[in-house]
Structure 1
Amino acid sequence: MAAAGGAASAGAPSGPPSYRVRAVGGIPEVRAGDDLATIIAGAAPDLVDGDVLLVTSKIVSKAEGRIVEAADREAAIDAETVRVVARRGTLRIVENRQGLVMAAAGVDASNTPAGTVLLLPKDPDASAEAIRAGIRAALGVEVGVVVTDTFGRPWRSGLTDVAIGAAGVRVLDDLRGGKDSHGNELSATVVASADELAAAGDLVKGKAAGFPVAVVSGLGHLVSADAGGGGRALVRSAADDMFRLGTSEAIRTAMTQRRTVRAFTDDPVDPGAVRRAVEAAVTAPAPHHTTPWRFVLLESEESRTRLLDAMRDAWVADLRRDGKSEEFIAKRVRRGQVLRDAPYLVVPCLVMDGSHTYGDARRDAAEREMFVVATGAGVQNFLVTLAGERLGSAWVSSTMFCRDVVREVLDLPDDWDPMGAVAVGHAAQAPRERAGRSADAFVAVR
């Protein structure tokens, strides 16, 4: 099978680039302890330098004895799972022990005896290197080896084979800095060559055709004895992964990882991120179909300093009227330093627009409490969304003790009630791990 768009190996005839991919016949049922390189060399003695072997992970796992007794496949998936990425019903997308994000951790109950499951190779890159070395020893040729497995993909229907391990193959072809056919500089083009090879091999191996090995010829430029990285180089790092979690898992993680941050870097805050957090805040539930939230964004250092200075003066005056010592006052003032250190401040406010007046103190007090609760829900949405934007925050109550001062300094309407201040910025250090809390201590069942 030939396909345009490849690149001819060195010394190939001139003309349009092409490559050839073929399945290898004669591979017997593989069992634990079998030498895959010897088996493949016997079935494909015509391998030449620059060929790429595409080996299905199932036969690698079988040869390495990765078949385990497991009446409960879910228990096997649990054992191979490092992190749940997304869950929908019984389907789980997880990060497994090999660092791969895939359905069911790669645990397979097909093509294996009843009552057993097949696990992925422990180290697919090492498995690929062992096959490569074995082919060199048996046939005296330098080939590339890609260990493949079947993946689903975000945003796309259907399955395809990808590379989970590789040896002697340039798994990524970095074209950044080069030019396209129109002379435009390529700034973000890094081609997943090993995945392309795996998918090409899958066209002839098939999912159930009994051909677990394929060979690609004519792409020798991708084969190199010193090609580094292996299949692990194809796994996107956590820092670069914009889709690290499913929707519900992302929300839950943002809520559990949202922490009060008291030390910030000098890095500026993206105002757009704050506005996106406000957009999330105003989706919170509220009584009578009202919108009781207002957010005052203090984006200039001058506005933050002016507000914090006025609040400090009002606070000190209150404490002196209470007879507190200067030492006590200094300690209390220092507690507000987190607001001064933050590069961005937000003052959430409560408005009672649309509230009902009942004419008796009990019901009117309950009406205000409903609006206060709604404001708190909005601020929680705000804080969680900031965490999702990788921004730290600290919600402190200080503005509630000097509302008149805040309204005057910020020129706010009389009916806007400041409900604390939120310091926003990039955390200076990662927060300490938070101990998990069981829901049992906070639940009463009737």
Structure 2
Amino acid sequence: MSRIRRRQDSPSDIRLEIFPVPGIPEVQEGDDVGKLISAAMPDLRDGDILVVTSKVSSKAEGRTRRGLTRVEAVAAETTRVVARRGETVIAQTAHGFVMAAAGVDASNTEPGTVVLLPVDPDASAAAVRTSIKERLGVSVGVVVSDTFGRPWRNGQTDMAIGVAGVTPMLDYRGMSDDHGNALEVTMTAVADEFAAAGDLVKGKLAQTPVAVIRGMAEYTTEEDGPGVRELVRQSEDDMFRYGSRDVLFARRTVRGFSAEPVDGAKVRRAVEAAIAAPAPHHTTPWRFVLLESPEIRVKLLDAMREAWIADLHGDGFSEEAIARRVKRGDVLRAAPYLVVPCLVMDGSHTYRDDRRNTAEREMFVVAAGAGVQNLLVQLAVEGLGSAWVSSTMFCRDVVREVLDLPPGWDPMGAVAVGRPAAPPRDRAPRQADDFIVTR
């Protein structure tokens, strides 16, 4: 990421030109896009920045598909569905872009075909740049652009999906404004600004897929540069990673954790989500014990293991079988953070017969489960992995004693929390219809 210096010239000295490149023919597979641009605009200059619609690179690189519906193409290009409303799908691509229809386009292409994004848009930009350098002897910057929608804003704009020879991002952090205020988070996505500026003159219907931006040579570089990756926010920094469609599916059981410490503030935000769960009689039947001390975690798990082994011996299990079962608790030992959710029956009703009393407790248990589910989902939204393990339910007295909990707090398992050491395995395929009975 480039650090920018203040301009020495005044704004009145800046002259910026943006104009389309006419005369580029319909691009076919195998075409050299740089050659086509050079022929159409032979008077390109050093420091010019070209904004090239991604579709021309896609067509030249054989990314047109025939006999594939748009829905099928979107599914094939999607690595993660972020949101869905009707037939509109916002999806993440293998590049890391989050965009409508995973970038699949059925416009400005022959009927019965769809166009996919380039496999490596940075390489596409670099290839155009190299070709123009070889033919015209000038060094230009290249931005490959595509259309994106934006959260909280109507309408679309072009953004950069590939960059070569252009500084993609400017970092103003640490500088001061004219009032002496320190700039702490200001970073400008100049490659996206160039993409949007180029789209003003290319248009969507004029079939002019290339624009030239002249007067911004200071933003060009000798080398191809880092490409578009500076503009793609990493998942751990993405506050809006999960859309409405897949937020529940973000929760996965994680059994291997890295040694990275867990931010307790994230866990507390997950508890805020947990206590938003429904509960009977306007009660609050949840309590959450956060085990942030390594010493208390080890003390609890050691005591639980001893109780578990004693129970298994009493049940007549062999030493080998006991060892296998006890090993299941390793997921709790591997986690850098534990949460023990507890059920409290404050506010519950007492009835004359056991049937209704049993139903009353079951209502509270269901509410506790809803709270735990909310906790697990919000942990995933916070970028943390988790695993709910039921073991504390088999030695409640031991847990209450070690953690010094009130007699009315009923431990409902334990939740291992941490950064996943590896991506979780794919879910077993399940179809909703297999679990539905209609009357």
TM-score, normalised with respect to structure 2: 0.82
Deviations 1:160-196 (A, max 9, x none): 1112223222223344455544556555443322211
Structure 1 CA distance, aligned partners of 2:115 and 2:187?
33
Match of 1:84 among 60, 81, 84: 81
Counterpart in 2 of 1:22?
19
1:20-419 matches, within 5 Å, as 20-70=17-67, 72-176=69-173, 178-182=175-179, 186-254=183-251, 257-259=252-254, 261=255, 267-300=260-293, 304=297, 342-408=335-401, 410-419=403-412
Distance 1:287 1:316 in 2: 36
Gaps of 5+ in 1: none
Q: In structure 1, what is the Cα distance between the partners aligned to 2:328 and 2:109?
A: 63
Partner of 1:443: 435
| 1:325-377 Cα deviation digits (max 9, x unpaired) | 99998998776566566544433222223333332223322322222232222
Distance 1:86 1:338, change over 3 A: closer
The 1-side partners of 2:10 and 2:357 are apart by 89
SS at match of 1:18: coil
CA distance 1:7–1:76, change in 2 (3 Å):
farther
Aligned-residue offset at 1:92? 1.0
The alpha-carbon distance between structure 1 residues 442 and 377, as it changes in their structure 2 partners (threshold 3 A), is farther
Q: In the alignment, what sits opposite 1:421?
A: 414
- Residue by residue over 1:16-54, the C-alpha shift from the partner in whole angstroms, topping out at 9 and shown as x without a partner, is 333221223333444445443343333323221111122
1:289-337 CA deviation, whole Å, 9 max, x = no partner?
4322222334445655665676667667777888999999899877656
SS of the aligned residue for 1:414 comes to: coil
Report which stretch shifted further, 31-40 or 325-334: 325-334
CA distance in 2, matches of 1:150, 1:381: 35
Equivalent-residue separation in structure 2 for 1:101 and 1:123 (angstroms): 16
Q: Bigger shift: 353-362 or 313-322?
A: 313-322
Instruction: Describe the superposition over 1:257-278 as per-residue Cα deviations: whole angstroms up to 9, x where unpaired.
Output: 233x3x6555443232222222
Matched residue of 2:124: which SS? helix
1:258 corresponds to which letter in structure 2? T
**What is the letter of the counterpart of residue 161 of structure 1?**
D
Q: CA deviation at 1:284?
A: 2.5
Question: How far apart are the structure 2 equivalents of 1:33 and 1:336?
Answer: 58
- Residue 384 of structure 1 aligns to a residue whose secondary structure is helix
Q: Secondary structure at the match of 1:249?
A: coil
Rg larger for: 1
The aligned counterpart of 1:433 is: 425
Return the offset for 1:249: 0.7
The answer to whether the Cα contact below 8 Å between 1:68 and 1:116 also exists between their aligned partners in 2 is: yes
Q: Quick one: structure 1 residues 39 and 250, their matched pair in 2 at CA, closer, same or farther if it must change by over 3 Å?
A: same
Higher mean alpha-carbon deviation, 70-79 vs 171-180, is at 171-180
Contact 2:242–2:381 (Cα < 8 Å) also in 1: no
CA distance in 1, matches of 2:30, 2:278: 61
Determine if contact 1:6/1:18 at 8 Å carries over to the other structure: no
CA displacement, residues 188-215 of structure 1 (integer Å, 9 cap, x when unaligned): 4433222111111112222223432221
What CA distance in whole angstroms lies between the structure 2 residues aligned with 1:436 and 1:76? Answer: 23
For residues 74 and 321 of structure 2, the distance between their equivalents in structure 1, rounded to whole angstroms, comes to 57
2-structure distance, mates of 1:340, 1:126: 45
Contact between 1:7 and 1:19, CA under 8 Å: does it hold in 2? no
Change in Cα spacing, 1:242 to 1:70, as seen in structure 2 (3 Å) is farther
Cα distance between partner residues in 2 of 1:108 and 1:433: 31
Q: Mean alpha-carbon deviation: is it higher for 194-203 or for 303-312?
A: 303-312
- Secondary structure of 2:44's counterpart equals coil
Cα distance per residue 1:228-252 (max 9 Å; x no partner): 1233443333343333331221221
Are the counterparts in 1 of residues 253 and 387 from structure 2 also a CA contact under 8 Å?
no
User: Structure 2 CA distance, aligned partners of 1:336 and 1:212?
Assistant: 59
Letter in 2 for 1:366: A
- Distance in 1 (CA, whole Å) between partners of 2:432 and 2:129 is 54
Deviation at 1:90, TM superposition (A): 0.6
- Give the whole-Å Cα distance in 2 for the aligned partners of 1:83 and 1:326: 45
SS at match of 1:247: coil
- Whether the 8 Å CA contact 2:89–2:101 is kept in 1: the answer is yes
| Structure 1 pair 338–6 and aligned structure 2 pair: CA distance change class (3 A) | closer
- Is the contact made by 1:6 and 1:19 (CA closer than 8 Å) also made in structure 2? no
**Identical-residue share of aligned pairs (%):** 61
Q: CA deviation at 1:6?
A: 12
The amino acid of 2:382's aligned partner reads E
CA deviations over 1:402-431 (Å, ceiling 9, x no partner): 44454455454433323333344445x326
State the one-letter code of the partner of 1:400: M
